[in-house]
Amino acid sequence: MATVSPYHTDSFEYPPKHREVYHDKDTCPDGRKIEQKNRKTGTGGKKHCLECSKVT
């Protein structure tokens, strides 16, 4: 597991569960579902992903 620069998505291609949070772990299963082209740099003012919090 590695910490990466925070990213999020606003793409309606993804369910709200993915659009309402930001990710910062490269092994987060939810974050990995977001295609690179749909990732936006930063937190976007969103809350931290619970899955990223669990990844150790």
Closest to 30 (Cα-Cα) out of 50, 13, 6, 4: 50
Residues of the domain holding 23? 3-54
Residue type, 52: C
pLDDT value at residue 1: 60
How many Cβ atoms sit within 10 Å of the Cβ of residue 14? 16
Global model pTM greater than 0.75 = yes
Indicate the number of domains in the chain: 1
Answer with the residue of higher pLDDT: 17 or 46. Answer: 46
